[in-house]
């Protein structure tokens, strides 16, 4: 058993334990393995243990890995999430190679992704990134602007609005982390209840290595874990 496979099993155990503690079914939480800065072999190692969804922050690096693994056995079954900032000059790369984009925070970017998504591919799955706690160095749109952007994005062709993503500042303790994640969950519920979307969102992407338990307690349906699987960068 490799270190990555062993780490994957430990993370899955953490998710299961956190779900039971929160009174949730572990099947309601997906694990996104964040493989940024690690090579294709590390991804292949994780994939050998059944991990299918991988997150990349750096678009060019991510595309290189996608192409390197696509021709290998099982490579076509991998699901690739762009979780880093998307600039206008990189939207075509994202639209042509990724399955999900979790970091949309501007209508212009969503429109370019919609226009550049090849007709031969399934629709691009979209999460809006929210700067839930107003972090000065964080990407994402203010909570007050989420509903309006969600309505616009949901109308674009070749995109499917799936949910919200947030990366709050590190919290002092479990209760503080739960509280800030709960704010994103409340926003998620409010947008769904508003009636502005043709189909309710189903994905709440919250929690990383340090705070996945708090995120699951607050209602996360997808945790993005890198360090606990692949090691320190």
Cα 200 from chain centre: 17
pLDDT digits over 86-103, tens only? 999 999 999 999 999 999
Q: CA 206 to CA 180: how far, in whole Å?
A: 10
- For residues 22 and 45, the answer to whether their CB atoms sit within 8 Å is no
What is the pLDDT, as a whole number, of residue 139? 87
pLDDT digits over 10-53, tens only? 999 999 999 999 999 999 999 999 999 999 999 999 999 999 99
- For residues 229 and 192, the answer to whether their CB atoms sit within 8 Å is no
Query: Is the model's pTM score more than 0.95?
Result: yes
**CB count in 10 Å sphere of residue 96:** 15
Question: Under the phi-then-psi rule, with left for phi > 0, alpha for psi from -120 to 50, and beta for the rest, what region is 180?
Answer: alpha
* Structural domains of the chain sorted by starting position, each given as residue range(s) with its CATH number in brackets: 3-230 (3.20.20.10)
What is the pLDDT, as a whole number, of residue 1? 79
What are the residue ranges in the chain where pLDDT is below 70? none
What is the pLDDT, as a whole number, of residue 78? 98
What is the pLDDT, as a whole number, of residue 75? 86
What is the pLDDT, as a whole number, of residue 162? 98
């Amino acid at each position: 058993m490799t270190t990555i496979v062993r780490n994957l099993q430990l993370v899955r155990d953490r998710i299961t334990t956190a779900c039971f503690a929160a009174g949730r079914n572990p099947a309601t939480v997906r694990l996104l393995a964040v493989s940024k800065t690690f090579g294709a072999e590390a991804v292949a190692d994780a994939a050998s243990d059944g991990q299918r969804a991988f997150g990349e922050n750096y678009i060019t690096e991510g595309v290189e890995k996608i192409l390197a693994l696509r021709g290998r056995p099982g490579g076509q079954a991998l699901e690739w999430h762009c979780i880093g900032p998307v600039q206008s000059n990189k939207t075509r790369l994202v639209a042509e190679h990724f399955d999900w984009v979790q970091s949309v925070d501007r209508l212009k970017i969503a429109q370019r992704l919609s226009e550049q998504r090849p007709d031969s591919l399934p629709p691009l799955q979209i999460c809006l990134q929210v700067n839930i706690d107003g972090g000065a160095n964080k990407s994402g749109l203010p909570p007050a602007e989420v509903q309006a952007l969600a309505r616009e994005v949901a109308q674009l062709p070749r995109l499917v609005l799936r949910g919200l993503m947030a990366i709050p500042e590190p919290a002092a303790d479990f209760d503080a982390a739960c509280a800030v994640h709960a704010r994103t969950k409340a926003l998620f519920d409010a947008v769904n209840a508003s009636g502005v979307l043709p189909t309710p969102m189903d994905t709440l992407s919250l929690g990383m290595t340090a705070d996945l338990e708090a995120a699951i307690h607050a209602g996360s349906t997808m945790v993005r874990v890198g360090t606990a699987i692949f090691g320190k960068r």
